[in-house]
């Protein structure tokens, strides 16, 4: 007997909304979501399901001397307790390198590393039973300084190959050349968390074929399937994944969390197993943004032309590799920003340490250097006596520029225009004597009436690569079906691409409506029964899955034209689909789809591959590594209470080029949400790690911006189509997160005159206490 | 223990409830009302906000026993059958929903604000929503939605 899917899943979004590309139809899942009926992964439920729980290491670095689960297993209501010995397949997984144990064997490398798992009747029984698992640790000295981890051979080796995950050097022109004006600085960035609201969760349901169905929130079904199947020792087709509602992702769901664990427990107990992390566990259960230390030196002519950039970048990857190799690749190749730089020497190190593992987060690898080089640009402007925006415009790259790895920018790059747009926006009015106290730094807590408050303005500009880089064939697959249902032509789109909240389901409908000229389009739930769509990350889904849906729709349309040609004896040349009809080249209606198709179902599956990229030369770092870039710029206006160190961002404006605004409202939504995350990094968000231990794993102590922290935004969206991309699109999701951080930081510097070489900027950095 | 609650106007009963279970757990796992969300379970994010005897409260901070005999209105109880409440409509129309995980809690908070405040100023809206975290939207479209719902109510 095959078990039924869990109650409350999959989703059935409304298919009645209309609107093609370039318009802003409402989300088909919006009504379900406002009714509270949309099933997120933590809402899944199955009769006779068990609850899983995870025992995690309290130590950042320790040897496991003894592990005894017998007492936990004897607890009433506990059905299974598993350790690494119960992993039937390979106990190592990983996105880039297979270096992460599903369950720790003889050693733990970070605080929170999973050591054992169990399943019980009630979540509280499960949590209590964890306390009966006996683990004896021999505590070891943790490796916590990434710069030392890169160079100090005497430190303990955390992995067989040592503590270096990746080193990359980029050399362009003559990096030793001299310049009239030189500025340098050392910049640090703290560990940011994705802090998606929906906790890691899912439901694993064992099947009678020895396989398992997993319903979960993720960013990439197929990569989870591959890694999970390998650990379970099963062929991938026996590990079937279905996307359930995702409560935000931002990169934090790229690595596995509960996938292998819930499946192991379900297969062992023969019962559905639900796992839901609580917030504290979520902080331990996913990877974070890489903290970094960056040494920068910029040289320029007296007129303000950049002559060289020299930089050394250290990225702390924590216990396991995750996306560290990509962070080093992106970090170095994007290290000089959207500027023309004839000479450069850049070095990047990504290292292992006993700090929490770091991996993907929105703006991957570009956030850190952007904060540093944009700080440098302001410093350089000050040294030259120039306006910071003018200095940036003067050096802005454009179409035809060659970047630091020697790659030609053969698509629009309107960087100067973005900055100019911001410059031209009006500034908010000066704060008057009668300012509402709630608008001052410190807000309603009435800490100032305006005395000691100074205002500053700052810019931040960024470049981010879209899609996966350095030679990866980063493709997507879509299946599109056209048939007559209830007397109407209906299209159905099926992909494995994850809707994580960004609006992908809406977009797939828009594309199908535009391509097939039918108003009714349904989107099949994303699962692994269709080909790989790649990850909902790197700002790539609209581009790549959008491209696949377009290709499949066009194949369906071609099949329809051939049918018309055969049945009606008309030449298919120049035919098109509109309003549910087939229209000939001369505009004459050939037939309605209803009449032509009758009972027939037309279905096509197509892939979209973006143009090829190439690995970087290991010695010189030269190479055509990237597919496309996204560009955005911010201008921040801040009020700073210099006595108390409190900051109020008064206005945050953004200009971004999106190539083609496929859904203009969704684009604005991405810019607003991304800008808030960047603001968070500038002034409040940090996982505080001391000696490898996390000090603030809760929403009480890890602060994300509230509605009181986000100021009004003016947004300018440019549409300069990329000729190489479907519909001219340019990835949208990441850039606004990246450029808002330096804009806010630079504004605080402008207000205070302080160096502030670290984000998040805390009150004590401003008051000097 | 057994807990009796009036949920969205209907008397409901949950059996075998453990000491220490929250109202949120009872709603989600025992009564099948998963609309109220579990983002922090510590009273920090507002995702689990429900009306308790007409006053918005974090269901994760209410012990199941404390809810005995009381009236709870959840996000599932905002709409009138098929007809969405104006605040729900304006959230959909304004694009205030992205992943939507914050939405149920925000809706209850905003519903309460609009019900008790005529023409709320921006500062009042911000103050009212400050206990509800949203990680996706940057709040601007949520503010739009509340403004729209308040304006519609005024003209209704
Ligand atoms: S879940 Fe109750 S406040 Fe966060
Ligand atoms: S829409 Fe995702 S948390 Fe608010």
Query: A451: which DSSP letter?
Result: T
The partner residue sitting opposite A37, judged by closest CB among B35, B137, B139, is: B35
Count of CB pairs separated by less than 8 Å, A with B: 183
Report the distance separating Cα A769 and Cα A760, nearest Å.
16
DSSP string computed for A295-358? EEEEEE-TTS-EEEEEEEEEEE-TTS-TTHHHHHHHHHHTTT-SB--SEEEEEEEEE--SSPPB
What is the helix (H) or strand (E) element at residue A662, kind and residue range? none
pLDDT digits (tens, 9 = 90+) for A704-727: 999 999 999 999 999 999 999 999
Give the bridge partners for A237, in sequence order: none
Query: By mean pLDDT, which of A6-10, A518-522, A589-593 is the weakest?
Result: A6-10
Q: Tokens at residue A250, please?
A: 């931002």
Residue B3 has pLDDT above 50, yes or no: yes
Q: pLDDT band at A16, cuts 50/70/90?
A: low
Residue A702 C-alpha to ligand 2 middle, in angstroms? Answer: 17
For A95-154, what is each residue's pLDDT tens digit?
A: 999 999 999 999 999 999 999 999 999 999 999 999 999 999 999 999 999 999 999 999
- Other CB atoms within a 10 A radius of the CB of residue B116 amount to 9
Give the CATH number of domain A408-465+624-769.
3.30.365.10
Burial class (CB in 10 A: 0-12, 13-18, 19+), A16: exposed
Of A122, A247, A707, which is closest to B139 when you measure between CB atoms? Answer: A707
**What DSSP character marks residue B142?**
H
At residue A5 the predicted structure's pLDDT band, cuts being 50, 70 and 90, is low
- Is A30-38+475-609's fold the same as A408-465+624-769's? yes
Nearest to B62 by CA among B33, B27, B32, B24: B24
Q: How many CB atoms lie within 10 A of CB A549?
A: 35
Burial of B34 (0-12, 13-18, 19+ CB in 10 A): buried
Does the pLDDT at position A19 exceed 90? Answer: no
- Closest-CA residue of B relative to A444 is B127
Do A507 and A567 form a contact (C-beta atoms < 8 A)?
no
Report the distance separating Cα A72 and Cα A58, nearest Å.
18
Measured between alpha carbons, how far is A647 from A305 in angstroms, rounded to an integer? Answer: 33
* Nearest protein Cα to ligand 1, atom 1: B41
For residue B65, the model assigns a pLDDT of: 94
Predicted confidence (pLDDT) at residue A247 exceeds the cutoff of 90: yes
Strand pairing of A715-718 and A646-657? parallel
Q: What share of chain A is helix, strand, coil (3-state, %, to 5)?
A: 25, 25, 45
Closest ligand 2 atom, residue B39 Cα: 3
Rounded mean pLDDT, A263-284:
97
Q: How confident is the model at residue A7 (pLDDT cuts 50, 70, 90)?
A: low
% of chain A beyond a pLDDT of 70: 98
What is the token pair recorded at B85?
Answer: 């409440």
- Where does residue A54 fall: left (phi above 0), alpha (psi -120 to 50 degrees), or beta otherwise? beta
Exposed, middle or buried, A4 (CB in 10 Å: 0-12/13-18/19+)?
exposed
- The burial of B130, by beta-carbon neighbours within 10 Å (0-12 exposed, 13-18 middle, 19 or more buried), is given as middle
The alpha carbon of residue B139 is apart from the nearest alpha carbon of chain A, in Å, by 6
Tokens of A44: 């899944």
Residue written as token pair 């770092």: A621
- Kindly give the distance from the C-alpha atom of residue A125 to the centroid of ligand 1, in angstroms, as a whole number: 22
More confident residue, A451 or A766: A766
Residue listed under structure tokens 């499946």: A263
| A368 Cβ contact list (under 8 Å, min separation 6) | A189, A290, A292, A294, A313, A315, A331
Mutate to test the pocket of ligand 1, among B60, B130, B132 (most ligand atoms within 8 A of CB): B60
Task: Please give the helix or strand (H or E) that residue A449 lies within, else none.
Answer: none
Q: What is the pLDDT of residue A712?
A: 95
Is the pLDDT reported for residue A21 higher than 90?
Answer: no
How many residues are there in chain B? 156
Is-contact A749 A378, C-beta < 8 A?
Answer: yes
How large is the ipTM? 0.97
Domain definitions of chain A by residue range: 30-38+475-609, 408-465+624-769
Asked if pLDDT for residue A9 goes beyond 50, the answer is no
Per-residue pLDDT tens digits for A487-503: 999 999 999 999 999 99
Instruction: Tell me what pLDDT residue A3 has.
Output: 47
Counting every residue written for chain A, the total comes to: 769
Calculate what percentage of chain B has a pLDDT beyond 90.
94
The predicted pLDDT at position A1 comes to 33
Radius of gyration of chain B, Cα coordinates, nearest whole angstrom: 15
Mean pLDDT value across chain B = 95
Q: Which atom of ligand 2 is nearest to the CA of B98?
A: 1
Q: Are the beta carbons of A27 and B33 separated by less than 8 Å?
A: no
Tally of CB atoms within 10 A around A491: 29
Q: Could you tell me the pLDDT band of residue A450, with boundaries at 50, 70 and 90?
A: confident
Q: Over the stretch A521-578, which tens digit does the pLDDT of each residue have?
A: 999 999 999 999 999 988 899 999 999 999 999 999 999 999 998 988 888 889 999 9
As a whole number, the mean pLDDT across chain A is 94
| Pocket around ligand 2 at a 6 A CB cut-off | A 197, 248, 501; B 97-102, 134-137
Assess whether pLDDT exceeds 80 at residue A412.
yes
> In the block, which residue shows the tokens 């008790």?
B116
The CA-atom distances, in angstroms, between B102 and each of A281, A671, B86 are 19, 18, 18
- Distance from the CA of B128 to the center of ligand 2, in angstroms? 17
**CA nearest to B75 within chain A:** A36
Q: What is the pLDDT of residue A766?
A: 95
Residue of A nearest to B19 (CA): A124
pLDDT for A506: 92
The Cα A130–Cα A67 span in angstroms is 12
Kindly report, residue by residue over B20-54, the tens digit of the pLDDT. Answer: 899 999 999 999 999 999 999 999 999 999 999 99
CA dist A201 and A215 (Å) reads 9
Confidence check: pLDDT of B100 > 60: yes
Residue to substitute in B75, B101, B106 for testing ligand 2 pocket (most ligand atoms within 8 angstroms of CB): B101
| pLDDT attached to residue A183 | 98
Query: Is A304:A391 a contact under the CB 8 Å cutoff?
Result: yes
Per DSSP, helices labelled H in A633-734 are 664-683
CATH class of A30-38+475-609: alpha beta
* Residue-level pLDDT at A230: 97
Residue A4 clears pLDDT 60, i.e. is over it: no
Q: How far apart are the CA of A260 and the centre of ligand 1, in A?
A: 27
């Amino acid at each position: 007997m095959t078990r039924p899917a869990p109650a409350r899943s999959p989703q059935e979004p409304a298919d009645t909304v209309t609107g093609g590309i370039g318009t802003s139809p409402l989300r088909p899942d919006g009504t379900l979501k406002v009714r509270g009926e949309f099933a997120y992964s933590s809402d899944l439920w199955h009769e006779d399901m068990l609850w899983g729980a995870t025992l995690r290491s309290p130590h950042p670095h320790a040897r496991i001397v003894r592990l005894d689960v017998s007492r936990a297993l004897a607890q009433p209501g506990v059905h299974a307790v598993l350790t690494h010995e119960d992993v039937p397949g390979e106990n190592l997984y990983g996105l880039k390198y297979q270096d992460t144990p599903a369950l720790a064997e003889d050693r733990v490398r970070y605080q929170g590393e999973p050591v054992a798992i169990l399943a019980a009747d009630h979540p509280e029984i499960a949590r209590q039973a964890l306390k009966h698992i006996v683990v004896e640790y021999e505590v070891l000295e943790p490796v916590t300084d990434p710069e030392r981890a890169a160079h100090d051979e005497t430190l303990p080796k955390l992995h067989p190959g040592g503590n270096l995950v990746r080193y990359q050097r980029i050399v362009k022109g003559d990096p030793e050349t001299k310049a009239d004006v030189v500025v340098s600085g050392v910049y640090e960035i703290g560990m940011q968390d994705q802090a998606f609201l929906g906790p890691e969760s899912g439901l694993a349901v064992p099947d009678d074929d020895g396989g398992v169905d997993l319903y979960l929130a993720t960013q990439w079904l197929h990569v989870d399937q591959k890694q999970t199947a390998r650990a379970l020792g099963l062929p991938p087709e026996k590990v079937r994944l279905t996307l359930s509602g995702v409560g935000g992702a931002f990169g934090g769901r790229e690595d596995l969390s509960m996938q292998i664990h819930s499946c192991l427990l379900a297969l062992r107990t023969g019962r559905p197993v639900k796992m839901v992390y609580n917030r504290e566990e979520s902080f331990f259960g996913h990877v974070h943004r890489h903290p970094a230390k960056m040494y920068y030196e910029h040289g320029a002519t007296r007129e303000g032309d950049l002559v060289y950039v020299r930089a050394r970048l250290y990225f702390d990857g924590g216990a396991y590799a995750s996306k560290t190799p990509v962070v080093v690749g992106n970090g170095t190749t994007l290290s000089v920003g959207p500027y023309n730089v004839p000479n450069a020497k850049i070095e990047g190190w990504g290292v292992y340490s006993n700090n929490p593992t770091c991996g993907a987060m929105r703006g991957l690898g570009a956030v850190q250097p952007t904060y540093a080089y944009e700080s440098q640009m302001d410093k350089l402007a000050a040294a030259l006596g120039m306006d910071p925006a003018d200095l940036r415009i003067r050096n802005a790259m454009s179409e035809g520029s060659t970047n630091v790895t020697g790659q030609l920018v053969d698509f629009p790059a309107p960087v100067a225009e973005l900055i100019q747009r911001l410059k031209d926006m009006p500034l908010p009015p000066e704060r008057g004597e009668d300012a509402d106290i709630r608008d001052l730094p410190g807000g309603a807590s009435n800490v100032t009436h305006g005395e000691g408050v100074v205002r500053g303005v700052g810019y931040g500009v960024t470049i981010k690569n879209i899609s996966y880089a350095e030679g990866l064939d980063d493709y997507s697959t879509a299946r599109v079906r056209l048939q007559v249902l209830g007397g109407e032509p209906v299209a159905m789109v099926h992909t494995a691409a994850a809707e994580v909240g960004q609006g992908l389901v809406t977009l797939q409908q828009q594309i199908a409506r535009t391509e097939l000229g039918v108003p009714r389009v349904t989107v099949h739930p994303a699962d692994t029964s269709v080909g790989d769509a790649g990850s909902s990350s790197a700002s790539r889904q609209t581009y790549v899955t959008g491209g696949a849906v377009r290709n499949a729709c066009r194949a369906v349309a071609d099949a329809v034209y051939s049918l018309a040609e055969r049945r009606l004896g008309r030449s298919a040349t120049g035919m098109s689909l509109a309003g549910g009809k087939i229209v000939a080249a001369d505009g004459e209606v050939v037939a309605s789809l209803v009449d032509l198709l009758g009972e027939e179902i037309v279905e096509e599956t197509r892939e979209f591959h973006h143009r090829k990229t190439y690995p970087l030369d290991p010695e010189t770092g030269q190479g055509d590594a990237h597919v496309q870039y996204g560009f955005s710029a911010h201008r921040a206006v801040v009020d700073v209470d210099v006595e108390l160190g409190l900051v109020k961002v008064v206005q945050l404006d953004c200009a971004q080029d999106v190539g083609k605004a496929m859904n203009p409202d969704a684009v604005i939504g991405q810019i607003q949400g991304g800008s808030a995350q960047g603001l968070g990094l500038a002034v409040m968000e940090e996982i505080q790690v001391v000696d490898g231990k996390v000090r603030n794993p809760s929403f009480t102590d890890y602060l994300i911006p509230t509605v009181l922290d986000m100021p009004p935004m003016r947004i300018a969206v440019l549409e300069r189509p990329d000729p190489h991309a479907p519909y001219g699109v340019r990835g949208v999701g990441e850039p606004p997160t990246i450029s808002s951080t330096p804009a806010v930081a630079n504004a605080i510097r402008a207000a205070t005159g302080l160096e502030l070489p670290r984000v998040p900027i805390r009150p004590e950095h401003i008051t000097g206490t | 223990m057994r807990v009796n609650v009036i949920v969205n106007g209907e008397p409901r009963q949950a059996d075998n409830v453990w000491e220490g279970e929250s109202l949120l757990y009872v709603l989600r796992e025992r009564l099948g009302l998963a609309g109220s969300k579990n983002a922090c379970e510590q009273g920090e994010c507002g995702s689990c906000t429900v009306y308790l005897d007409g006053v918005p409260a974090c269901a994760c901070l209410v012990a199941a026993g404390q809810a005995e005999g009381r009236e709870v209105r959840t996000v599932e109880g905002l709409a009138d059958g098929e007809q969405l409440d104006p605040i729900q409509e304006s959230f959909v129309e304004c694009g205030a929903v992205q992943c939507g995980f914050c939405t149920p809690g925000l809706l209850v908070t905003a519903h309460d604000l609009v019900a008790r405040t005529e023409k709320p100023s921006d500062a009042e809206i911000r103050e009212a929503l400050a206990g509800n975290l949203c990680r996706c939207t940057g709040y601007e479209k949520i503010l739009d939605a509340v403004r729209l719902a308040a304006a519609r109510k005024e003209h209704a």
